[in-house]
Amino acid sequence: MTEGRPLRTVRSFVRREGRLTSAQQRAIDNLWPQFAIDDGESIINLNQLFSRDAPKVLEIGFGNGSSLVQMAANHPEQDFLGVEVHRPGVGQLLNLVEQCHLTNVRVACTDAVELLKHRIADNSLDRVQLYFPDPWHKKRHHKRRIIQPDFITLLAKKIKSGGHLHMATDWQHYAEQMLEDLSNSDVFVNCSQDDTYIARPDYRPLTKFEQRGQKLGHGVWDLLFKRR
């Protein structure tokens, strides 16, 4: 509390609504009941949500959803839950899910930290993936980066023993910070042979954003850690 007021939670994102296209709005209106998770306070039964017992993958911040949909299409034996605060991205994902006739994708339009804290059961996720999160590159904004020691502790509770945390960024400083923070954890083990970074796994699609960056000589750093 500060002067009688509660401290405001530092968020890792800025909610930018943007403008929904007619197709995105139609997808949200028509497909939300089938593929989306409504706000609530109870723990989500993931097996019930997907109507089966299969490996569960949570992606935080899926953008326009194209990469997530490609992974879901390539791995029908896995279930994917995507979390995104940008509603046009949610609408675009739902469109793609319908176009590809996928049944192994669900979406939540909410704060991923709050979802993990209150609605995801402990030891229920096989993999958490976080690709190209906002780097908050100004030093005074580093506290807004989603990967912080407290968040790592939260993830350690939700990821099964033997499960994985996979991150990717095109900001070297953020990669170095993530590497340091995860290496200081006593519950995650680096899957890299030299305890640094890994090559992009085949299951993570190469995005147009990355392809453009590679032509300009930009680097991308993948980090993969295993839950003890």
What is the pLDDT averaged over residues 61-90? 97
* pLDDT in the model for residue 209: 76
Please give the residue that has the higher pLDDT: either 8 or 187: 187
**Which tens digit of pLDDT belongs to each residue from 159-193?**
999 999 999 999 999 999 999 999 999 999 999 99
Q: Domain extents for the chain? A: 24-227
The pTM for the full model equals 0.91
Which of 134, 129, 151 shows the shortest CA–CA distance to 12?
A: 134
Its CATH class, for the domain covering 24-227, is alpha beta
Say if residue 39 is exposed, middle or buried (CB neighbours under 10 Å; 0-12, 13-18, 19+): exposed
Which of 179, 177, 174, 182 shows the shortest CA–CA distance to 219?
A: 174
- Cα 184 to Cα 168, 212, 225: the distances in Å are 18, 33, 12
Is residue 150 annotated as a catalytic residue, yes or no?
no
Name the strand (E) or helix (H) holding 106. strand 105-108
* pLDDT in the model for residue 17: 63
* pLDDT in the model for residue 2: 45
Name the strand (E) or helix (H) holding 127. strand 125-131
**Which tens digit of pLDDT belongs to each residue from 11-64?**
655 555 678 999 999 999 999 999 999 999 999 999 999 999 999 999 999 999
Is the separation of the CB atoms in 31 and 64 below 8 Å?
Answer: no
* Torsion sign (Cα): 93, 116, 199, 169: positive
* pLDDT in the model for residue 6: 46
* pLDDT in the model for residue 10: 55
Backbone angles phi, psi at 2, to 5 degrees: -130, 115
Catalytic-labelled residue, pool 126, 134, 170, 181: 134
What is the pLDDT averaged over residues 71-92? 98
Is the separation of the CB atoms in 50 and 104 below 8 Å?
Answer: yes
Say if residue 107 is exposed, middle or buried (CB neighbours under 10 Å; 0-12, 13-18, 19+): buried
Banded model confidence at residue 207, pLDDT cuts 50, 70, 90 = confident
